[in-house]
């Protein structure tokens, strides 16, 4: 009976601590709210995959990729955001997400025999945020593969048009950060590609918003560029071809390892 009471007390304390951690995350990072489905999937033996949407897009824009991941046995970690980049610059968003993920990992993944490192997928600005986290903020300590879809990691030419208005209209702050001459892009370009992380860039020759030249990775042992045909920017996250390619890449690079029990 005493053992049962101790077990019950331990369970209550565990749930209370998780609730406390959840409250802290919500108060510190109100923009990054884990979806209910992601929370449920993280309680399974599935391998988590971080999924970040593009500029001014909601989580719904990544449903096709989320569903493909679930069908393949992965657990997409996606977020309810009002719209990505609506009121903050890219670097600020990257700092917030980096801190959020660190809290999430430290408090939700138990029973590990080695440090957990998982894949991440980002569309458009979402991929640029992931690159900054990995290359400038030691994100490779918990991300081992990143797949970006039409993500202008080398910067864009036309977003210089946001320069005169970036301090007046909040959504233009993050758009300006994607200009090839912005301080943010200059800083990102100077950062190395950690050899402990594998980088994949998917782009399309039909995408004038984020042309292949803006998305191209340098040729390194741990990088891969994939060029698709005749797809526009907004078509890519809804494309079956892109979803299939992502699953293929994840399975191709997934090392054999023991599944990790979560919670």
**pTM for the whole thing?**
0.85
State the average pLDDT over residues 240-252. Answer: 95
Per-residue CA distances from 63 to 68, 175, 181, 218, 248 (Å)? 8, 24, 33, 30, 18
Is pLDDT above 70 for 191? yes
pLDDT at 27: 43
Closest CA to 241 of 149, 151, 152, 153: 149
Is pLDDT above 90 for 183? yes
State the average pLDDT over residues 42-64. Answer: 89
Is pLDDT above 80 for 165? no
Other CB atoms within a 10 A radius of the CB of residue 191 amount to 13
The band of 219, judged by pLDDT with boundaries at 50, 70 and 90, is very high
What is the C-alpha to C-alpha distance for residues 165 and 163, in angstroms, rounded to an integer? 6
pLDDT at 89: 93
The band of 23, judged by pLDDT with boundaries at 50, 70 and 90, is very low
CATH topology of domain 32-253: Rossmann fold (3.40.50)
Q: Residue ranges per domain, the chain?
A: 1-30, 32-253
């Amino acid at each position: 009976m005493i053992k049962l009471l101790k077990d019950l007390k331990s369970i209550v304390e565990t749930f209370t601590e998780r609730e406390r951690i959840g409250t802290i995350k919500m108060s510190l990072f109100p923009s990054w709210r884990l979806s209910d489905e992601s929370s449920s999937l993280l309680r399974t033996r599935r391998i988590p995959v971080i999924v970040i949407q593009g500029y001014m897009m909601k989580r719904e824009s990544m449903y096709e990729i989320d569903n493909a991941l679930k069908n393949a046995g992965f657990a997409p970690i996606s977020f309810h955001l009002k719209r990505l980049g609506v009121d903050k610059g890219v670097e600020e968003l990257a700092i917030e997400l980096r801190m959020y993920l660190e809290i999430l990992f430290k408090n939700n993944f138990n029973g590990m025999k080695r440090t957990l490192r998982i894949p991440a997928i980002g569309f458009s600005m979402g991929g640029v945020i992931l690159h900054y986290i990995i290359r400038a903020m030691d994100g490779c300590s918990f991300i081992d593969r990143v797949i970006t879809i039409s993500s202008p990691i080398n910067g864009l030419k036309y977003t210089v048009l946001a320069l005169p208005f970036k301090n007046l209209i909040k959504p233009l702050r993050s758009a300006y950060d994607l200009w090839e001459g912005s301080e943010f892009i200059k800083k990102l370009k100077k950062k190395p590609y950690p050899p402990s992380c594998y980088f994949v860039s998917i782009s399309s020759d039909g995408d004038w918003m984020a042309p292949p030249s803006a998305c191209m990775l340098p040729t390194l042992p741990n990088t891969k560029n994939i060029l698709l045909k005749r797809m526009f920017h907004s078509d890519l996250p809804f494309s079956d071809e892109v979803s299939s390619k992502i699953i293929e890449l994840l399975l191709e690079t997934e090392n054999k390892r023991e599944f990790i029990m979560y919670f």
